[in-house]
Amino acid sequence: MNYIEQNDPQVWSAIAAEMDRQQDGLEMIASENYTSPAVQQAVGSVLTNKYAEGYPGRRYYGGCEHVDVVEDIARDRAKELFGAEFANVQPHSGSQANAAVYLALVEPGDTVLGLDLAHGGHLTHGMKLNMSGMLYNFHSYGVRKEDCRLDFDQVARLAREHKPKLIIAGASAYPREIPHAKFREIADEVGAKLWVDMAHYAGIVAAHLHDDPVKVADVVTTTTHKTLRGPRSGLILARQEYAKVLNSRVFPGTQGGPLMHVVAGKAVCFGEALKPEFRTYIQQVLDNAKVLAETLAAGGLRLITGGTENHLMLVDVTPLGIGGKTAETVLERCSITINMNMIPFDERKPMDPSGIRVGTPALTTRGMGIEEMRTIGDWMLQGLKAPEDEKLHARLRAQVGELCTGFPVPSAALNAELQ
């Protein structure tokens, strides 16, 4: 029985169309992924009906005995997965997790150092229109002009000059491994706390294929829906000494009742990430990204930093005589979804930047490998080199559709039951 279709055909038709879009196209937005059917079911479960303000064993509502079990499982698995002393699984999103960390570690007006948004940082790391930029005195570090790698000389110089209370590491569009110990050294020198926002590469950390921030940072936050492949949500990890203040800054600091259905989805996701298959998956994500980057570079595109060491690549499309907005539109016509992106030292505007950001986590979840990456890279190049040729785009769209039928999305069977 499809209750949505029966009760609300308008909403159902949009959901059904999205199911088709996810199955029929190539999802290459670096921050997206497909959950397993088990995660999807947990998020669609009766736990959405339950209020559970507080924490397991200390709730402000009755009837929490079962959701307590779920939250305990999620916390224990998160700690095991990342080797952390403390976990809070209640943040509704990455930004919510980050808001709680600010309230826990600094006071309004305090000085904070974070990566410039224009160099791959996230808006919660000090953008003027975000609460972080409104409430705290931000200074931004960036990447070096010559190789677009993190400029640790600049980080150290800014830290010595401005004496921040808090240094933030982590990025949304940086294609290289981040050496967290270098941030720790600088933080220690100036007496700052170190917070790592590993939202993009948490899955790679969980698979032990990326430098581990949990060992060196005071606090680590992440989203759970990117490389970690869980529901859209957030997570905070920390040393035990921060447990009390972080818990109180999540609830009641920034949130009311946790979304227990999403906490259940996170528990299932962490369970999946603890299995050996997850490491195999992440290794394939990395191998795929390398091959795709090589293919795009060989076709005349400029890879920022010259390549990738993680799940994403930042690609300057201007050598082909187009901008990021045109690239996004052309690829969309071919059923390839990516996002336009500023590149470091970009001379173009955010609404039509020089670059695109491309990632492999979602395609890898569908089972695609090296061979498919070469084919897809070639299709992308064909489309981008002929931005006006709509007939070619239609042909590429048909080829993409054909490829996709061989790689069903993980929830295909579950979705088919509804359709």
Binding site for ligand PLP (CB under 6 A): 31, 93-95, 98, 122, 124, 170, 172, 197, 199-200, 223, 234
| Smallest separation, CB 301 to ligand PLP (Å) | 23
| Smallest separation, CB 92 to ligand PLP (Å) | 8
The verdict on whether 53 is a catalytic residue reads yes
Phi, psi of 226, rounded to the nearest 5 degrees? -95, -115
The verdict on whether 212 is a catalytic residue reads no
210 in a known ligand binding site: no
| Smallest separation, CB 234 to ligand PLP (Å) | 6
| Smallest separation, CB 139 to ligand PLP (Å) | 18
The verdict on whether 111 is a catalytic residue reads no
383 in a known ligand binding site: no
Select which of 32, 53, 68, 389 is catalytic. 53
The verdict on whether 197 is a catalytic residue reads yes
The verdict on whether 224 is a catalytic residue reads no
Planar angle of CA 157, 160, 161, nearest 5 degrees: 85
259 in a known ligand binding site: no
Select which of 50, 184, 226, 357 is catalytic. 226
Select which of 27, 116, 197, 211 is catalytic. 197
Q: Which is nearer to ligand PLP, 233 or 415 (CB)?
A: 233
| Smallest separation, CB 124 to ligand PLP (Å) | 5
Phi, psi of 349, rounded to the nearest 5 degrees? -90, 155
- Residues with Cβ within 8 Å of residue 8, at least 6 apart in sequence: none
- Residues with Cβ within 8 Å of residue 289, at least 6 apart in sequence: 308, 310, 311, 312, 313, 359, 360
The verdict on whether 232 is a catalytic residue reads yes
Q: Which is nearer to ligand PLP, 94 or 142 (CB)?
A: 94
Select which of 24, 32, 51, 149 is catalytic. 51
122 in a known ligand binding site: yes
Q: Which is nearer to ligand PLP, 217 or 400 (CB)?
A: 217
Binding-site residue positions: 117, 121-123
> Which positions make up the binding site for (6S)-5,6,7,8-tetrahydrofolate?
117, 121-123
Residues marked active site are found at 51, 53, 197, 223, 226, 232
